[in-house]
Each structure stands twice: as C-alpha cells, then as structure tokens.
Amino acid sequence: MFRNLISPSITKPLSAQKSVRSFSSASVLRQAAATNYQHILTETRGKVGLVTLNRPKALNALCNDLFVEVNEAMKNFDEDDNIGAIVLTGSEKAFAAGADIKEMKDNTFVDTYKKDFLGHWAKISDVKKPIIAAVNGYALGGGCELAMSCDIIYAGEKAVFGQPEINLGVIPGAGGTQRLVKAVGKSRAMEMVLSGGANLTADEAQSLGLVSKVVPADQLIDEAIKTAGKIASKSQASVQMGKELINKSFEVPLSAGLRWERAYFQALFGTADQKEGMNAFAEKRKPTFTNN
Ligand code: CO8
C-alpha cells in the first residue's frame, strides 16, 4: 500500500511505518516523511530532494532495509519531474559507519554469493539525476563507498573518510578498491584499504579531490542544497547527459568518450532548452528552462 505525504509524485511505503520519533531541528515535512520510512527521512526543498539517513543509534550503519529505503526514495525523486537534483546526508556524528556488521556477521559464502548480498547497493548508480553527498562525521567502509557512489561530495569540517573493512577480515565491497583509487590515487588508497587506517580528514579529502567543498558542519546541508538547487535550475537533459558522460569517462577509452560527448552535445540542439539558453544569452537575459 502506498501513500503520498510530501510531493504529489512521491510515494512512501506504509509498511515501514515507525510510531514515535523525536526531532531537534527537523521540519514538519521531514517528520511527516519519517512516519513512512523506518531508517531514512525525506523532504523536498524547492527542486531538490533531500534524503537523510536516520539510524542514529547505529551511526547510520547501512542495514539491508535502510538501503532498500534509500533506493526507493532515490527512485521516487528520480521519477519526479519537479525535482532536479538530490542531496544525501546523515547525522552530524555519522554519514554512515559502514554496512551493518551485526546484521552480516553470520552470513556464509554460499548465501552471500547466491543471493548477491548487498548487490542492491549498486542501484544508486542508476539514478539519472545528480546526487550530492553531504558528509558530516564518519563515512567509513560502506559509508565512504556510498558517498563515492554519489556525484559530488561536500564535507563538514570534522568528516572522516576511511575503509576499515580489513580490520573485520574482509575488503571493501562497493567501490573502496575502485572509486577510491581514482579519487585519491593508488598509494593512499592502498594504505587505507590494506591497513584499515590512514583515514582522510575533510581537508585531506578535499586536497586529494575526493571532496569538492569543506564547510562548517552546521552549514553543510544548506550548502549542498544551494548547489543542488543551482543544478536543478538548469535544463535537466543537459544535466543528466553531463552526469552520464562524466561517469562514462571511468568506463570507456578517451576516443570513445569524446565521441559520446560530441554526439550528446549535438543531440541537445534538438531541445527547446538549447534554443532558450542561447537566445537568452544573445538577448542579454536569464534563460528559463522548461526541460523540453
Ligand atoms: N555496523 C553495525 N553497528 C555499528 C556499526 C556498523 N558498521 N558502526 C557502529 N555501530 C554501532 C555500534 O555497535 C554501537 O552500537 P551499540 O550502542 O548497540 O553498542 C553504536 O553504533 C555506536 O558505535 P560506537 O559505540 O562504536 O561509537 P564510537 O563513537 O565509539 O565509534 C566508530 C565510532 C569508530 C565509527 C565505530 O563505531 C566503528 O568502528 N564502527 C565500525 C566501522 C566499520 O568497520 N565499518 C565498516 C563496516 S564493513 C562495510 O562497510 C563493508 C561494506 C561492503 C559493501 C558491499 C556492497 C555490495
């Protein structure tokens, strides 16, 4: 059964309903949304969808149900024409302290392999709209990987990025050996993944290119929403093609990537937004994009 409390095009499962929850600075909309999800909060701010991981007692450890909810919220925002970008955040203490260790500790190899354990984490990569991860506090293990699955990372001053899985007798499973290398280089990625330490501070993460902006913790969400709002004001086809192409640069050789880029650039001349954008420039006015 589904019900819509926030945005006309957003539906939330009542099955995940939680009865009592207290909020410090949450908005009314956020509280309404929290009654429908058990482990996350959702709200809209203008054209921006905000997803907040909300499992504070476990430092937002990414249990299976939490990730199911994240995927559903992301899908709903992705399908909502009124939303142009998404922000994903956690609490001031933890963006997420990793996959839920207690939930998975007794798993067997055969089960995890046969059921593709945590394979659904990859669904976040199917989201076409840009996602900004606003990271305060711990982003460890799967938490760091979740942030890296997003398109832009903003960090609060006390954010900590690390891949401690080796301390548990395993390795990263959702990008820690792949995306991290591309963001911070081989040596630091090796050090982090193999020693389970060498965590990155927010400033280090920024200087290495993992993070694009560091701000005081209490300003983080507003900063992320501001940038997301700016992105959401552009033509959605252009934004989504830009995201797709940048991600493609990790997958394909340069010549193929450049060919894709040129083809998409040329295709955009078939949109009303291209006419509006270029006419507005010529007429010295601001463009009004209609996503057509
Ligand atoms: N899983 C489950 N519970 C957790 C987790 C976690 N990852 N992290 C913290 N918690 C719980 C603690 O057990 C504790 O619960 P309780 O109060 O019931 O004892 C509560 O959160 C608070 O934690 P602490 O008391 O430990 O808080 P501290 O401030 O002392 O320490 C730390 C904070 C440093 C973050 C510490 O909690 C910690 O080291 N956590 C584990 C970090 C970690 O190892 N993360 C990696 C997990 S493995 C992983 O992410 C693999 C991802 C693979 C993805 C594959 C996809 C296909």
Cα 285 to ligand 1 centre (Å): 51
62 close to 24: Cβ distance less than 8 angstroms: no
Strand bridging mode 40-45 / 48-53: antiparallel
Active site residues: 99, 142, 145, 165
Give the position, in ligand 1's atom list, of the atom nearest the Cα of 94. Answer: 35
Q: Give per-residue pLDDT as tens, 27-85.
A: 434 444 445 899 999 999 999 999 999 999 999 999 999 999 999 999 999 999 999 99
CA distance 55 to 62: 9
| pLDDT value, residue 36 | 84
| pLDDT value, residue 8 | 32
In 3-state terms, what secondary structure has residue 96? strand
Cα 267 to ligand 1 centre (Å): 46
- pTM reported for the whole predicted model: 0.90
What 139-142 contacts at long range (C-beta under 8 Å, 24+ apart), as own/partner pairs, is 139/94, 139/95, 139/96, 140/96, 140/97, 140/98, 140/164, 140/199, 141/97, 141/98, 141/99, 141/165, 141/172, 141/176, 142/62, 142/96, 142/98, 142/99, 142/118, 142/172, 142/173, 142/174
Q: Give per-residue pLDDT as tens, 236-261.
A: 999 999 999 999 999 999 999 999 99
Ligand 1 is surrounded, with C-beta below 6 A, by 58-59, 61, 97-102, 118, 121, 138, 140-142, 164-165, 168, 172-174
Nearest CA to ligand 1 atom 27: 59
How many residues are recorded in the chain? 292
Cα 164 to ligand 1 centre (Å): 10
25 close to 59: Cβ distance less than 8 angstroms: no
Distance of CA 32 to the CA centre of its chain: 22
pLDDT above 70 (res 158): yes
Cα 192 to ligand 1 centre (Å): 17
